[in-house]
Amino acid sequence: MPNVDPKQIAAIEKAIEEKYGNIAVLDPSSLWTTEKEKAYLDQIKSVEKYYRQQAYENYTDQGGFILKEKLVSKKLTSKTNVLIKNKYVINLCL
């Protein structure tokens, strides 16, 4: 940092405090406690667990492809051969 005058920094902080209140210039870590830290970590763990369950719940393996269950038709369960341009035969099992 270039030469910064500590008096100028104090004057700016004082002006901010007068305009927005004491909370605007407080160090955030001064309000943080171990109880808040534990509650925060518990919240993060529960949210992560929820999203992990959601990520794997609605997907199914269809012939080596992972697809959402709502995209898979329940009626087409038998194997179907598809001919593409008289060259390729694709075996579909949906």
What are the tens digits of pLDDT across the range 41-66?
A: 999 999 888 877 776 667 777 777 77
The structural domain count of the chain equals: 1
Answer yes or no: are the C-beta atoms of 70 and 58 closer than 8 Å: yes
What is the structure's pLDDT at 83?
47
pTM for this structure? 0.42
| 1 in any annotated domain | no
| 40 in any annotated domain | yes
Answer yes or no: are the C-beta atoms of 24 and 16 closer than 8 Å: yes
Give Cβ neighbours of residue 68 (< 8 Å, ≥ 6 apart): 58, 59, 60
| 20 in any annotated domain | yes
Answer yes or no: are the C-beta atoms of 54 and 86 closer than 8 Å: no
Specify the 3-state DSSP secondary structure of 31: helix
Residue type, 88: Y
Enclosing domain of residue 62: 6-93
Mean pLDDT of the chain: 76
